[in-house]
Amino acid sequence: MPEAGTGLRPDPRWTGVLLVGGQSSRMGKDKLRLPLPDGGVLADLPAHALAKSCGKCCSVRRADGPAFVPQGFEDLVDVAPGGGPLAGVVAAILAASTPWLLIVGGDMPALTPTFLRAFMTYAEQEPGRALMIGARRLQPMPLALPVALGSEVIERYQNGERALRRAMPASRLRLIEPAALMSAGDSEPWWSVNTPEEWRRFSAEGLPVPGSA
């Protein structure tokens, strides 16, 4: 069924990739499982946004980490330990069966299907280039990645690169200004929760309800 309020079905050309392999060292506990008022957990929010946007979805974890596999998601494992988010991206590239990957972190609870669909639409305007948000600083996620660029990303990973933003060849990376994706007064939907203070701030501002646009 189309998502309420959008009239759009999940796009079968896209695989949503939820990265859930972080150590949560700054939070001091597993931040992906911070509780929501409805009985869910923090990572349910970006997972919901992906599931409403992409025809296929997967979650990628550390080999020694707990699985977080929402209904309908494929369970993938980082290609190697200690490789950071890029090890999860490489695992998703190797498993890809769609032309596009939409990559987000499990600690990004403010993402919505509406925002992600706008991001995907901009990415598709230049199908040979990856897309990131260029705000006050470059935001590594969300990342729209054409699978056709996968071999270049994998090569950089194999050569020792671990930073997601530097794994994209400069000539194949496009940046979009936040204003092109947001309405006046919107918060920054790419914001991530990393510390107890950030979690308190997010909670105080009102948790989004799964299913909202």
Q: So where are the chain's domains?
A: 11-205
Residue 204 pLDDT class (50, 70, 90 cuts): confident
Mean pLDDT, the chain, as a whole number? 85
Checking if the pLDDT of 56 tops 70, the result is yes
Q: Which CATH number fits domain 11-205: 3.40.1360.10, 3.40.640.10, 3.90.550.10, 3.40.190.10?
A: 3.90.550.10
Is the distance from CB of 188 to CB of 135 less than 8 angstroms? yes
Start-to-end C-alpha separation, the chain: 15
Checking if the pLDDT of 90 tops 90, the result is yes
Distance CA(153)–CA(166), nearest Å, equals: 9
Average pLDDT over residues 198-212: 61
Checking if the pLDDT of 31 tops 80, the result is no
Residue 207 pLDDT class (50, 70, 90 cuts): low
Residue 158 backbone phi and psi in degrees, to 5: -65, -25
Selection from 51, 81, 10, 90 nearest residue 210 by Cα: 51
Over its C-alpha atoms, the chain yields an Rg (Å, rounded) of 16
127 three-class SS: coil
pTM: 0.87
Checking if the pLDDT of 4 tops 50, the result is no
Percent residues over pLDDT 70 in the chain: 85
Distance CA(211)–CA(44), nearest Å, equals: 11
Q: Is 168 left (phi over 0), alpha (psi -120 to 50) or beta?
A: beta
Confidence at residue 27, expressed as pLDDT on a 0 to 100 scale: 59
Average pLDDT over residues 208-212: 42
What is the tens place of the pLDDT at every residue in 154-203?
A: 999 999 999 998 998 889 999 998 888 876 455 678 888 878 778 777 77
